[in-house]
Amino acid sequence: MAKQEIEYRAPATNWQTRGFWEGCGRGELVLQRCGDCGTVQHKPRGICASCLSSALEHFVACGRGRVYTYTVTHQNNMPGFRDACPYVLAYVDLEEGPRLMTQVAGCEPDAVEIGMAVKADFVDTGDGLGVPRFVPA
């Protein structure tokens, strides 16, 4: 029986990324869309990495996606992760397009499959910030 509980700590932020982590603190997945070329990008930047426009807007994504690939981590010797093994590291493709590296929790590691529908779940890390992981939808 897996404990699966990574000890999430408050993420390091800067002015480009703080909006994303504050969104997670409110239970919202905030993405950037370029006002000029329409590209949705993640991770957040101070510029559109597709056309170099500065006209970025933020919006709340639906939080749904599918597992693109995953691995069940059986060994990680770092504090905060060692006792969480086995835990699932995954890429999730969001409905809005971007791919996120994340954890899939809320089910046995062996139950995770590529293509599985998942939804965002937010771990409060204090000070109005949070970290997103995903659980079965």
Partner 1 sequence: MTLSGQIAIAGAYEHPTRFAPDKSESLIMAESARGALEEAGLRLADVDGLFAAGISMGPMGVVNLAEYLNIKPRYLDGTNIGGSSFVAHVSHAAAAIHAGLCEVALILYGSTAASSAMAIGTGLGGGGRDPEAAFVAPYGMTTVGSYALVARRHMHLYGTTPEQLAEIAVTMRQHASLNPEAKMQKRIDVADVLESRMISTPLHLLDCCIISDGGGAVIVTSLERARDLKQPPIVLRGCGEAVCHQEIGSPDLLTIAAKQSSEEAFAMSGLSHDDVDLCTIYDSFTITLLVTLENLGFCKPGEGGAFVEAGRIGLSGALPVNPDGGGLSSNHPGMRGIFLVIEAARQLRGGMGERQVDGAEVALVHGTGGTLGAIHSGATLLLSRD
Kindly list the residues in this chain that would bind partner 1 in the complex (CB under 8 A). Answer: 6, 8-9, 11-14, 16-17, 21, 39-43, 49-50, 68-81, 84, 87, 89-91, 93, 97-103, 114, 131, 133
- DSSP for the chain reads ---------PPP--TTTHHHHHHHHHT-EEEEEETTT--EESS--SS-TTT--S-EEEEEE--EEEEEEEEEE----STTTGGG-SEEEEEEEETTS-EEEEEE-SS-GGG--TT-EEEEEEEEEETTEEEEEEEE-
Q: Closest distance between Zn ion and the C-beta of residue 32, in Å?
A: 10
Q: Closest distance between partner 1 and the C-beta of residue 137, in Å?
A: 19
Q: Which of partner 1, Zn ion, none sits in contact with 34, Cβ below 5 to 8 A by type?
A: Zn ion
Structure-token pair, residue 73: 């981590």
Kindly list the residues in this chain that would bind Zn ion in the complex (CB under 5 A). Answer: 34, 36-37, 39, 48, 50-51, 53
Cβ distance to partner 1 smaller for residue 80 or 128: 80
Cβ distance to partner 1 smaller for residue 26 or 38: 38
Cβ distance to Zn ion smaller for residue 38 or 128: 38
